[in-house]
Amino acid sequence: MFATYLIGLREGLEATLVVSILVAFLVKSQRRDRLPQVWAGVGLAVVLSVLFGWLIEYTSTSLLARSEDRELFEAVTSVAAVVFVTWMIFWMRKAARTIAGELRGKLTEALAVGSLAVAGMSFLAVIREGLETALIFYSAAQGAAGDSGPLLALIGGIVTAVAIGVLLYASALRINLSKFFTWTGALLILVAAGILKYGVHDFQEAGVLPGLNDLAFDITSVLDPSTWYAALLAGMFNITATPSVLEMVAWVAYAVPVLFLFLRKPSPAGKPTAPAATPTPPTTAPAGEATPAGEAAQDTDAAPAGEPAGSDIDRPASAPQRA
């Protein structure tokens, strides 16, 4: 259940931050009259996300009669969920510094168009998180049919995310969001590796991939499936005592390189090279060429003054307090 709680917390906090940025911008801009349109767009995104999750579950349990078809459907959704998880964590790491400025720019354009544009902009900003959550939750909760635990864990994660977002907006809580998204991203990579392993197993049961009975190892004597810790590992990262060779190859082939790429420190993009011998005086710089000061000025939205670079996303909590 921890895996589904983590999914709800991570995706919920991303959506909450987006909504907080939009609300803070409207409040600061004295455009509270547009808040109902924002909430209407958010509400519609939530409803459609729930319907999407229901449709996936209904397709698997009611529309597909043969067990092979269900296994194949679950395998395909597992691979799709892994793709979404991978894209989402790398996108957030790259866009965290500029997401606030981009959202404000899009909302400014929507305000100039009208109410429907504002509602549509907020809808699009939230629906991506909602559809991802539904797909990833379905894939992570496979094998828990009839058990309400994963659903309750997901709801608990979303509620926690909303509470954190409200406290951030009200300046009652300060957390290092950069570290938060780094740690949760690393955990989600392990969760995604388990989902991919489950998808490979479904492909094998559907007869698409061979080797269902070719076990990589059997550590049942050490990792007894009836114990609580075995159930915890299986529920979180799909680590089991008797995986097939192909399942383990998929798990390792995904987890190791993706974790390495995610955790390595990215090289600073656009960093100026060291000057050769004597630096050129500022007064003689060619016209139109960006100076280091100008570059810093362009980056103020990415890293607000007074905050360490790369520490936090532009927090919506600070928006109402600025002059």
- Of these ranges, 213-217, 288-292, 312-316, the one predicted with the greatest mean pLDDT is 213-217
Judge whether residue 300 has pLDDT over 50. no
- Residue 173's pLDDT is 67
The pLDDT value given to residue 43: 92
pLDDT in tens, 211-259: 988 999 999 888 888 888 888 788 778 888 899 999 999 999 999 999 9
In this prediction, residue 317 carries a pLDDT of 42
Q: How far apart are CA 183 and CA 196, in angstroms?
A: 20
How many Å apart are CA 17 and CA 162, to the nearest integer? Answer: 9
pTM of the model: 0.71
pLDDT of residue 268: 57
pLDDT tens digits, one per residue of 254-272: 999 999 999 887 665 544 4
Q: What is the DSSP string of 77-119?
A: HHHHHHHHHHHHHHHHHHHTTTHHHHHHHHHHHHHHH-HHHHH
Give pLDDT, residue 172.
60
Q: How far is residue 231's CA from residue 214's CA, in Å, rounded to a whole number?
A: 22
What digits encode the pLDDT tens for the residues 16-71? Answer: 888 888 888 888 888 888 889 889 999 999 999 999 989 988 888 888 878 888 88
% of the chain with per-residue pLDDT over 90 = 20
Mean pLDDT, the chain, as a whole number? 78
Residue 66 pLDDT: 82
Exposed, middle or buried, 1 (CB in 10 Å: 0-12/13-18/19+)?
A: buried
For residues 17 and 146, the model is more confident at 17
Backbone angles phi, psi at 101, to 5 degrees: -65, -40
Q: Which residue has the higher pLDDT, 309 or 225?
A: 225
* Distance (Å, whole) CA 174 – CA 116: 34
Least confident of 9-13, 69-73, 110-114: 110-114
For residue 210, what pLDDT is reported?
Answer: 92
- The confidence score (pLDDT) of residue 149 equals 75
Query: What's the pLDDT at 176?
Result: 77
